[in-house]
């Protein structure tokens, strides 16, 4: 399981929101590339970037910051927020982004999602954000009646890389990751799932490792890393220990 530090971008800065509320913003860095280098130096092997301004505008607003992170770290980067066209997808991938996350398009432009998966196999991630099991879109400002499993099922036959599942109620709150819903989504769809939202400390990493199984590819961690509630080095060490235990058991 991969530990993936989150870098949320607003007005060119590194921030965190509480429960997706744009009025509840905490700034953690003026230079996202510098923040990204810090996480790389602490052992990160992958980064999660979200263009918060873009998610509301419907098109990228922090593309320069994304490109700077890619250039500064050389790490695999996954990016979401405001990606609503094939041109935007192509632009990010050409800039060195490893995976593009499609969110609102999953409900509003199904043909784009399918075309992107076929044109760029294993480069597309489904970004499914939900409140009480129902999907939210447009930067979490619109609520739908669609369930997370029903939405994922629409695309399970496509050449996807993974699903990022975010529990909005927990995002940025450090109230504990929604392990049960994450595991259930992986089991129901058979797709790799990256957990997101609510990681509060090392115990959440342990719980995901204990109950997630092979269906949980990774976990995105934001506020807990920035506040010091979770050490990236300790979280990574926990995954290494779990991998070693699994290998010994298989052997």
Instruction: Catalogue the active-site residues.
Output: 8, 129
Residue 9's SS3 state is strand
CA distance 240 to 244: 6
Opening angle at CA 219, ends 213 and 224, nearest 5: 135
Can you list the positions of beta strands (E) in 37-133?
A: 47-51, 77-80, 99-102, 124-131
- Nearest Cα residue to 165 out of 135, 188, 205, 196: 196
- Nearest Cα residue to 89 out of 66, 69, 107: 66
- Nearest Cα residue to 81 out of 105, 114, 45: 105
Q: Residue 204: phi, psi to the nearest 5? A: -65, -40
């Amino acid at each position: 399981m991969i530990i993936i530090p989150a870098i949320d971008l607003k007005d060119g800065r590194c921030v965190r929101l509480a429960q997706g509320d744009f009025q509840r913003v905490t700034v953690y860095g003026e230079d996202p590339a510098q923040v990204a280098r810090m996480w790389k130096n602490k052992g990160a092997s992958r980064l999660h970037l979200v263009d918060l301004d873009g998610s509301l505008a419907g098109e990228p607003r922090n593309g320069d910051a994304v490109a700077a992170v890619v250039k500064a770290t050389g790490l695999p980067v996954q990016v979401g927020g405001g990606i609503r066209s094939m041109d935007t997808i192509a632009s990010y991938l050409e800039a060195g982004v490893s995976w593009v996350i499609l969110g609102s398009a999953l409900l509003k432009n199904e043909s784009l999602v399918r075309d992107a998966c076929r044109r760029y196999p294993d480069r597309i991630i489904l970004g499914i954000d939900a409140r009480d099991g129902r999907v939210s879109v447009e930067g979490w400002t619109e609520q739908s009646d669609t369930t997370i499993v029903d939405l994922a099922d629409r695309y399970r036959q496509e050449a996807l890389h993974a699903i990022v599942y975010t529990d909005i109620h927990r995002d940025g709150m450090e109230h504990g990751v929604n392990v049960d819903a994450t595991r259930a989504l992986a089991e129901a769809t058979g797709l790799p799932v990256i957990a997101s939202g609510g990681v509060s400390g090392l115990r959440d990493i342990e719980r995901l490792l204990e109950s997630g199984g092979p269906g949980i590819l990774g976990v995105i961690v934001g506020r807990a890393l920035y506040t010091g509630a979770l050490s990236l080095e300790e979280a990574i060490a926990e995954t290494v220990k779990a991998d070693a235990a699994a290998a010994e058991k298989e052997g």
